[in-house]
Amino acid sequence: MPENILVIGSNGQIGTELVTELRSIYGSSRVIACDIRRPDYDIKNAGPFEFVNVLEKDKLKAVFQKYKPKQVYLLAALLSATGEENPNLAWDLNMNGLLNVLDFALEYKTAKIYWPSSIAVFGPNSPQNKTPQYCIMDPNTVYGISKLAGERWCEYYFQKRGLDIRSIRYPGLISWKAAPGGGTTDYAVHIFHDALKKNTYCSFLSANTELPMMYMDDAIRGTIELMGAPAEHIRIRSSYNLAGMSFTPEMLTAEIKKQLPNFTISYTNKDPRQAIANSWPQSIDDRQAQNDWSWKPKFDLSKMTEDMLHNLKSK
């Protein structure tokens, strides 16, 4: 019998591209998109869609009941910057949303769950360069706290209840298809839109703020590779460190200037996202993902910049 796959939070920056990719692999009718917002035209017309809020248990249960999904991807979350504006909602959505999904996954015998964690699980006392898989973790955003707690729950459900949960600590994700929402790393997407529209960008992070980043193509491929790996290869059931590239606003500007020589950047000095960025890693050690399931990124800074500008121009 063909298996159903449920993607919760299907209309966000990751969901938009993940649903399309999963539908091309498994067939459109097998991938059920779910969100609290009306889907964009493509997703709605390409396959099934359900309006669901992960916090509404009855409605969520009805979706599990209806589709009995064999794989679930839970992407609904409030990110770092919006989380600080609404800490209670961030905690509620990020934590109870996860627990609701894990419990229904057990009840309806979901075979595999994917849940994203983030570089935000690290904090000011974590080593900032080549941040290791295991180290001090003292996140100081509600988002980071909820992701770290979520990682512990994932490992707990794997160890105590046998759920096959897999997870990646995504770096900042850069993409052109759907907009990012409420993150500290979002400058690295906004900059491309403004570069093409106005030839100038005002960055909310300072020139030398280095952060780990990844192009969406790599993130989607990595996610699908992790979900496809044999269970016995997945030795980390909290969440895997994953590296793509690391750069500063200044380095990204230099790269954009190779194609748009007149592009200029300025910097705002007082943005609360700066403090968040300062508490995060600059680069990530992802040897465990390389060893366990052969992770390897394809996009570096220059390839990503070229691809972003090319696609945004033709969009």
Q: Least distance from C-beta 119 to ligand SER, angstroms?
A: 6
Tokens 């609904």 -> residue: 76
Contact status: 213 vs ligand SER (CB under 6 A): no
Whether residue 143 lies in the annotated active site: yes
Task: Number of residues interacting with ligand SER: please give it, by CB under 6 A.
Answer: 11
- Measured CA to CA, the distance from residue 194 to residue 133 in angstroms comes to 35
Tokens 């941040």 -> residue: 131
Query: Which position among 4, 80, 146, 238 is part of the footprint of ligand SER (CB under 6 A)?
Result: 80
Catalytic residue among 114, 143, 170, 201: 143
Q: Least distance from C-beta 17 to ligand SER, angstroms?
A: 15
Query: Which position among 9, 15, 139, 183 is part of the footprint of ligand SER (CB under 6 A)?
Result: 183
Phi, psi for 32 (deg, rounded to 5) = -95, 115
Binding-site string for ligand SER from residue 109 to residue 128, where x marks contact by CB under 6 A and - marks none: ---------xxx--------
Considering only 25-33, 39-47, 177-185, 303-311, which stretch makes contact with ligand SER by CB under 6 A?
177-185
Residue 296 CB-density burial (10 A; 0-12 exposed, 13-18 middle, 19+ buried) = exposed
Binding-site string for ligand SER from residue 268 to residue 307, where x marks contact by CB under 6 A and - marks none: ----------------------------------------
Cα dihedral 171, 8, 37, 16 sign: positive
Considering only 39-47, 181-189, 197-205, 295-303, which stretch makes contact with ligand SER by CB under 6 A?
181-189
Contact status: 185 vs ligand SER (CB under 6 A): yes
Contact status: 172 vs ligand SER (CB under 6 A): yes
Contact status: 184 vs ligand SER (CB under 6 A): yes
Closest residue by beta carbon to ligand SER: 183
**Count of helix runs (H) and strand runs (E) in the chain:** 13, 14
Contacts 24+ apart (CB under 8 A), 49-53: 49/10, 52/8
Task: At 192, list the tokens.
Answer: 């491309």
Q: In sequence order, what E strands does 119-226 have?
A: 165-166, 168-170, 172-174, 200-203, 211-215
3-state secondary structure of 125: coil
User: Catalytic site residues?
Assistant: 143
Residues that bind ligand SER (CB under 6 A): 79-80, 118-120, 143, 170, 172, 183-185
